[in-house]
Each structure stands twice: as structure tokens, then as C-alpha cells.
């Protein structure tokens, strides 16, 4: 098992532990790059890691990552959610992952968690 970046649409979609023969349809799995995070752009060879703008940015990123981790269960195959609710949660999680690429980063408005 090794730490891998899940690349989808030229963006780091997730960071996972996986074997070398593991794959995800529609995604590219690449070796973890130090400093990489969910939402960072992928240029085809490496993750583009933005320069940190200070402690506020790190706090916002940690909060965003916590919200993503807390909602991982919503996308599991054995989740008790109905398909419609899973789509709502997937949309919410995509909005969270896209926050670092917002022009307002790190002064962003977080999306509303589905009920």
C-alpha cells in the first residue's frame, strides 16, 4: 500500500492508500507528491502547489478537509442514503474540493451541507 493522488479532470480529487494495481474508473492514480492537497491542479506531470498566503489559508484548508472527511461516509456503497441524497452530498463535496481554486480563496463562503 502506498499513498496515491486520485486525479480527476486535472484536479486532485482525493488522497488514498492503495496498492499499485488499484484503479478507479475515470481517474488517474499517481504517486503522492509532498504538499499536494485535494483541489490542487494537476499539470499532467506534477501537482501545482500554490504558495501559502499565511496561517489563515491553512486554517481554512484544514476546515475544508475536515468537512470532506466527515462526509466520506455519504459516498460509500453501503451508505444508508437514497440515490437522490447521495447526489446532493456528491455535489456538496465537489463544491468543497473546488474551494481552493476559487478567486476568493481563502476568504470563501463554504457550501451548505445537505440536510
pLDDT at 105: 86
Q: Is 50 helix (H, G, I), strand (E, B) or coil?
A: coil
Strand partners, 47: 42
pLDDT digits (tens, 9 = 90+) for 93-102: 999 999 999 9
> What per-residue confidence (pLDDT) applies to 50?
84
Domain segments of the chain: what residues? 2-48, 55-101
The pLDDT score that the predictor gives to residue 96 is 96
**3-state secondary structure (DSSP) of residue 5:** strand
Q: Which SS3 state, helix, strand or coil, does residue 76 take?
A: coil
Query: Given this model, what pLDDT does residue 1 score?
Result: 87
- In tens, the pLDDT along 14-73 reads 999 988 889 899 999 999 999 899 999 999 999 998 877 666 888 999 999 999 999 999
Q: Are 75 and 86 in contact (CB under 8 A)?
A: yes
Q: And the C-alpha cell for 106?
A: 481563502
List CB contacts of 92: < 8 A, sequence separation 6 or more: 71, 111, 112, 113, 114
Amino acid at each position: 500500500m502506498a499513498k496515491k493522488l486520485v486525479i480527476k479532470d486535472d484536479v486532485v480529487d482525493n488522497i488514498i492508500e492503495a496498492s499499485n494495481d488499484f484503479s478507479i474508473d475515470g481517474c488517474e492514480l499517481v504517486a503522492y507528491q509532498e504538499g499536494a492537497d485535494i483541489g490542487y491542479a494537476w499539470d499532467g506531470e506534477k501537482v501545482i502547489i500554490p504558495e501559502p498566503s499565511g496561517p489563515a489559508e491553512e486554517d481554512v484548508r484544514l476546515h475544508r478537509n475536515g468537512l470532506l472527511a466527515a462526509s466520506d461516509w455519504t459516498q460509500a456503497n453501503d451508505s444508508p442514503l437514497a440515490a437522490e441524497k447521495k447526489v446532493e452530498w456528491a455535489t456538496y463535496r465537489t463544491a468543497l474540493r473546488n474551494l481552493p481554486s476559487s478567486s476568493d480563496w481563502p476568504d470563501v463562503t463554504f457550501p451548505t451541507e445537505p440536510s
